[in-house]
Each structure stands twice: as structure tokens, then as C-alpha cells.
């Protein structure tokens, strides 16, 4: 089975650049090229929802120069790459709080979401100024405001940025780190986790297929037992 929803923590841009004695931002630049390639690859292998962690609530701690370069890469990505991806039927959703972003970027993102909302292909979620704990607090505040006294899983899910979408079946992290870094904490409750040593700029279509193949070899039990014929005795 092809995983319906794949989420990726794109890590290792800085190390990719360091290995080549280049400034860190060159790693981000190369990382954006990988984003475009991998979104297309995800679409071509039949993944329906693809979520990428582009800027976390913690990334504001980075040097201002690096943040500025990330914003400028994001603007280029919206103008050029999203246009091309939109042509392939990709639909865009942003996960996160955009209010801290520069006004011009907010406008461009909203315009892209609007144009791409008519598309019916791969759903691309880009997490921007995203933190899972912040997302949950936002949901709890909404519940309090709506006077919800008996929360259920369905209610919480319906108050997250991913409303209406299936949870990730597979979470991929590049660069060999075994952390989830405040990403989709609610939604990855039963996701299979795949960690590769590849640095994000080096991640290829083949690596994505490898991750999917590994997912297919895993046995997902969702807390149950593997032998369906077993009576449990």
C-alpha cells in the first residue's frame, strides 16, 4: 500500500553546506530545489497528502541573516515553483501561524492558496512558523471559546491545521537525527517513522521510494495484535 499521507522533517541543509565549505544558506538554496523534485516524486508515486516542515516556531532563534534568506527563498518558491506545481494539480495548505511573517509574504501565500484551491491533485502542506504544541494550545483555546466541555479525538482533530486530512502514515526525517522536533505531535500518534542519514539537499526520488518500501515492509497494528486469527487467549 502506498502511504496516503507522508510528512517530512527536512534536516541537514546546514551540514550539507558545511561539508562543501559553503555558507549555511547555500544548503537551504539546494534544499528548496530538493523540495520541488520530491513533491513531484511524491505525486508520481501516488502519495495524496505531503507535509513538509519548512520553518518551525523555534527557527526564529536563528541569525536574522539566515531567516531573511529563508524568507527570500520562500518568496522565490511561491512565485516560481508553486506556479509550476500548481500546473501539476497540486493544492496548497499552510500549517502554522503566518501573522509573524512579513506582510508581502502573507499576501503572496494567501494568493497562492487561493489559486491552488481549485486543484484536485496532491495536497501539499507547508508548515511555516509551525509548532505542534502551539497548534494544540490553539485548539484548546478554540474549545474553551466554543464551550466544549467533553473533548473527543474527532473534536481535537477538527481544530488542527490539518482538519479534514488523514493523519500521516509515514514520517520521514533526514540527516540521521532521531527527534520529532515539535512536528505534528497529535497527528503522528500512529505514524511509522523512517530516519535516513541522507542530508535533505541530497535526498532523492530513489530515497523517497526506499522510505515507502520500508513502510510497506512494516506491520502496522495500531495498538492491536498482529495475528488476526488469534483469540487473544
Catalytic positions: 11, 59
Judged by CB under 6 A, does residue 54 bind ligand FPP?
Answer: yes
Among the listed residues 39, 41, 69, 70, the single contact to ligand FPP using CB under 6 A: 70
- Out of 38, 74, 109, 172, the only residue in the binding site for ligand FPP (CB under 6 A) is 74
Nearest distance from residue 55's CB to ligand FPP, in Å? 6
In the complex, residue closest to ligand FPP by CB = 14
d(CA 133, CA 108): 26
Using CB under 6 A as the binding rule, whether residue 174 contacts ligand FPP is answered as no
**Min dist. Cβ of residue 124 to ligand FPP (A):** 9
Residues in region 80-119 near ligand FPP by CB under 6 A: none
Q: How far apart are the first and last CA of the chain?
A: 30
Distance of CA 11 to the CA centre of its chain: 12
How deeply is 14 buried, as exposed, middle or buried, from its count of CB atoms within 10 A (0-12, 13-18, 19+)? buried
- Give the nearest distance from C-beta 8 to ligand FPP in angstroms: 10
Residues 166 and 123 sit within 8 Å (Cβ to Cβ): no
157 to each of 37, 64, 72, 152, 187, how far by Cα in Å?
Answer: 30, 34, 32, 9, 8
The phi and psi torsions of 204 (rounded to 5 degrees) equal -120, 175
Which residue blocks in 118-199 are alpha helix, DSSP H?
132-145, 153-158
* Nearer residue to ligand FPP within complex by CB, 53 or 215: 53
Residue selected from 5, 28, 93, 198 as contacting ligand FPP according to rule CB under 6 A: 28
Chain-centroid distance of CA 124 in Å reads 8
Residue 231, C-alpha cell as written in the block: 483469540
Q: Which residues ranging from 212 to 231 are in contact with ligand FPP (CB under 6 A)? A: none
Select 15 or 48, whichever has its Cβ closest to ligand FPP.
Answer: 15
Shortest distance in whole angstroms from residue 12 CB to ligand FPP: 4
Residue among 189, 156, 185 nearest 9 (CA): 185
Stretch that binds ligand FPP, among 66-74, 98-106, 190-198, 223-231 (CB under 6 A): 66-74
The one among 3, 14, 96, 131 contacting ligand FPP by CB under 6 A = 14
Asked if residues 54 and 82 have their Cβ atoms less than 8 Å apart, the reply is: no
Which CB sits closer to ligand FPP, 35 or 170? 35
For binding to ligand FPP (CB under 6 A), which residues are involved?
A: 10-15, 28, 31-32, 35, 54, 59, 70, 73-74, 77, 126, 175, 200
Amino acid at each position: 500500500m502506498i502511504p496516503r499521507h507522508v510528512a517530512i522533517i527536512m534536516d541537514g541543509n546546514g551540514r550539507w553546506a558545511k561539508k562543501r565549505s559553503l555558507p549555511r544558506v547555500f544548503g537551504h538554496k539546494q534544499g528548496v530545489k530538493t523540495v520541488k523534485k520530491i513533491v513531484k516524486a511524491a505525486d508520481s508515486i501516488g502519495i495524496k497528502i505531503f507535509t513538509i516542515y519548512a520553518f518551525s516556531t523555534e527557527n526564529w532563534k536563528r541569525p536574522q541573516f539566515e531567516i531573511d534568506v529563508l524568507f527570500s527563498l520562500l518568496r522565490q518558491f511561491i512565485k516560481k515553483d508553486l506556479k509550476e506545481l500548481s500546473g501539476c494539480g497540486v493544492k496548497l495548505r499552510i500549517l502554522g501561524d503566518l501573522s509573524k511573517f512579513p506582510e508581502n509574504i502573507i499576501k503572496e501565500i494567501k494568493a497562492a492558496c487561493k489559486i491552488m484551491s481549485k486543484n484536485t491533485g496532491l495536497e501539499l502542506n507547508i508548515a511555516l512558523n509551525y509548532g505542534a504544541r502551539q497548534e494544540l494550545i490553539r485548539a484548546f483555546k478554540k474549545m474553551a471559546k466554543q464551550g466544549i466541555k467533553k473533548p473527543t479525538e474527532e473534536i481535537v482533530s477538527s481544530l488542527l491545521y490539518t482538519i479534514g486530512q488523514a493523519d500521516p502514515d509515514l514520517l520521514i526525517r533526514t540527516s540521521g537525527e532521531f527527534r520529532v522536533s515539535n512536528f505534528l505531535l497529535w497527528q503522528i500518534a500512529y505514524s511509522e517513522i523512517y530516519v535516513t542519514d541522507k542530508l535533505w539537499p541530497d535526498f532523492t526520488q530513489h530515497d523517497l521510494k526506499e522510505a515507502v518500501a520500508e513502510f510497506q515492509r512494516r506491520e502496522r497494528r495500531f495498538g492491536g495484535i498482529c495475528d488476526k486469527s488469534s483469540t487473544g487467549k
